[in-house]
């Protein structure tokens, strides 16, 4: 039986000839880094597609000393927000002609540094970190070594960062509960070493102060971002009994909120009739829970696109760019207030 001959490789010269343009013009039209919307460029791209031309972006990148690859470092992909963040970065990178590869490090600084070195050993053009801690040594080291990088979701306050405005988000969540008539409000925030945890707590405190509601410090609980952390914090808050527990809780992410829901169920507390609850990040599951969860939505695609821009255009100002979150009110926060316990003035 005769073997089929391999299809002839279509070259850039072939595309240029078929399009009736010069090779340099064809090359510019097919360069994904600077996509042109002109009719001539569109014609070249259409011809290239019809001919089956495939641009060797790897070879052209090597000629420029680039790999068109970005390394993305996250604490863990089992965290829904981090997985969604990586997918958003991957989409934004592809739109700019980059390929994104991911590594996870937990929340351990040494593992984070090793993972970053592993990515750099693969000659990535830049690093995107969703792992930053306040006072983190890794971003400082990257700045000292002039490694192109950007932080997402979390910031150390120094390196180029694309984040949500977490203080505004915390304010929106607690202001919503205050506007519903709550005065006994607890806040379960994220780890104290994260900018997200501290900023969301600051926003929550601002909303309480603005409403002249005294924050009970024993109800300002620092926890991790996992479901089990929310469950443990919820158990602690509910152990005080009906007269000494909050009527509303702001959980600094949706995982914490789901842990609170489980703890409330085990304690015989119904949501929202006995407890109003607001989460953060508006993950896909939040709207589909048996009692849909009110949550603060963070524009991940906007944050991802900003991070890529910080990588592609290093040194531009402002270095720290904040995307505005929005509140998504649902059944879990309840409206109006349905508690039998009198609301404190």
> What is residue 50's predicted lDDT score, i.e. its pLDDT?
85
Looking at residues 50-61, what average pLDDT do you find?
Answer: 62
Structure tokens at 172: 């929106």
Q: Is the pLDDT of residue 58 over 70?
A: no
Q: Is the pLDDT of residue 60 over 80?
A: no
Domains and their CATH numbers in the chain: 12-55 (no CATH), 69-164+300-324 (3.40.50.2300), 166-298+327-333 (3.40.50.2300)
Contact 229, 254 (CB under 8 A): no
CA distances from 50 to 16, 33, 45, 179 (A): 13, 21, 9, 60
The angle formed by the CA atoms of residues 193, 194 and 195, to the nearest 5 degrees, is: 125
The angle formed by the CA atoms of residues 70, 62 and 71, to the nearest 5 degrees, is: 10
Specify the range with the lowest mean pLDDT, choosing from 57-66, 193-202, 242-251: 57-66
Higher-confidence residue: 61 or 66? 66
> What is residue 140's predicted lDDT score, i.e. its pLDDT?
93
At 106, is the pLDDT very low, low, confident or very high (cuts 50, 70, 90)? confident
> What is residue 341's predicted lDDT score, i.e. its pLDDT?
41
CA distances from 87 to 33, 92, 253 (A): 20, 9, 19
> What is residue 340's predicted lDDT score, i.e. its pLDDT?
38
Give the list of residues 6+ apart from residue 295 with CB closer than 8 angstroms, or none.
Answer: 254, 257, 278, 279, 280, 281, 282, 283, 286, 327, 328, 330
Q: First and final CA of the chain: distance in angstroms?
A: 90
Strand positions, DSSP E, the chain = 69-74, 99-104, 126-129, 149-152, 161-164, 185-189, 220-222, 248-251, 276-281, 294-297, 320-323, 326-328
Under DSSP, is residue 279 helix (H, G, I), strand (E, B) or coil?
strand
> What is residue 32's predicted lDDT score, i.e. its pLDDT?
66
Torsional sign, CA 275, 281, 284, 287: positive
Calculate the average pLDDT of the chain. 88
Q: Is the pLDDT of residue 336 over 80?
A: no
d(CA 60, CA 125): 14
Could you give the angle at which helices 254-266 and 227-238 cross, rounded to 10 degrees?
A: 40
Percent of the chain with pLDDT over 90: 68
Q: Is the pLDDT of residue 91 over 90?
A: yes
| pLDDT tens-digit readout, 4-29 | 434 457 788 888 999 998 888 888 88
| pLDDT tens-digit readout, 308-325 | 999 999 888 999 999 999
d(CA 308, CA 86): 12
Torsional sign, CA 254, 90, 104, 125: negative
List the helix and strand counts (H, then E) for the chain.
12, 12
Q: Is the pLDDT of residue 193 over 50?
A: yes
Q: Is the pLDDT of residue 112 over 60?
A: yes
If you search the block for the tokens 């809780």, which residue do you land on? 249
d(CA 76, CA 261): 23
Q: Is the pLDDT of residue 218 over 90?
A: yes
Smallest CA-to-CA distance from 190 within 75, 325, 73 is with 75
Looking at residues 105-129, what average pLDDT do you find?
Answer: 90
At 56, is the pLDDT very low, low, confident or very high (cuts 50, 70, 90)? low
* Stated pTM of the model: 0.78
Contact 13, 27 (CB under 8 A): no
At 288, is the pLDDT very low, low, confident or very high (cuts 50, 70, 90)? very high
Strand positions, DSSP E, 97-201 = 99-104, 126-129, 149-152, 161-164, 185-189
DSSP state of 9: P
> What is residue 265's predicted lDDT score, i.e. its pLDDT?
96
DSSP state of 319: S
Which residue(s) pair with 162 in the sheet? Answer: 152, 321
Burial zone of 157 (CB within 10 Å; 0-12 exposed, 13-18 middle, 19+ buried): middle
At 343, is the pLDDT very low, low, confident or very high (cuts 50, 70, 90)? very low
């Amino acid at each position: 039986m005769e073997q089929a001959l391999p299809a002839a490789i279509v070259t850039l010269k072939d595309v240029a000839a078929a399009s009736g343009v010069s090779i340099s013009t064809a090359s510019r039209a097919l360069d994904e880094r600077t996509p042109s919307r002109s009719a001539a460029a569109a014609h070249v791209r259409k011809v290239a597609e019809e001919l089956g031309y495939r641009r060797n972006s790897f070879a052209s990148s090597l000629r420029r000393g680039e790999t068109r690859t970005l390394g993305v470092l996250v604490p863990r992909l089992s965290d829904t927000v981090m997985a969604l963040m990586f997918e958003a970065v991957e989409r934004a990178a592809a739109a700019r002609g980059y390929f994104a590869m991911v590594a996870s490090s937990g929340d351990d600084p040494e593992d984070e540094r090793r993972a970053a070195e592993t990515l750099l050993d693969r000659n990535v053009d830049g690093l995107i970190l969703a792992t930053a801690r306040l006072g983190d040594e890794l971003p400082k080291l990257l700045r000292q070594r002039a490694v192109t990088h950007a932080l997402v979701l979390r910031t150390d306050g120094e390196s180029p960062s694309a984040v949500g405005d977490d203080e505004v988000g915390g304010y929106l969540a607690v202001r919503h509960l205050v506007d519903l008539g709550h005065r006994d409000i607890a806040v379960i925030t994220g780890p104290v070493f994260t900018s997200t945890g501290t900023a969301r707590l600051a926003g929550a405190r601002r909303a309480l102060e603005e409403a002249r509601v005294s924050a009970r410090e024993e109800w300002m609980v620092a926890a991790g971002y996992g479901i089990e952390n929310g469950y443990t914090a919820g158990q602690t808050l509910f152990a005080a009994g009906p007269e000494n527990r909050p009527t509303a809780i702001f959980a600094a992410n949706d995982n914490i909120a789901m842990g609170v829901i489980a703890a409330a169920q085990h304690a015989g507390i119904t949501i929202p009739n006995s407890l109003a609850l607001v989460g953060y990040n508006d993950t896909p599951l939040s709207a589909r829970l048996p009692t849909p969860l009110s949550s603060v939505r963070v524009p991940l695609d906007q944050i991802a696109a900003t991070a890529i821009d910080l990588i592609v255009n290093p040194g531009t100002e402002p270095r720290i760019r904040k995307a505005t979150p929005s509140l998504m009110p649902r059944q879990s926060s309840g409206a109006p207030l349905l508690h039998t316990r009198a609301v404190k003035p």
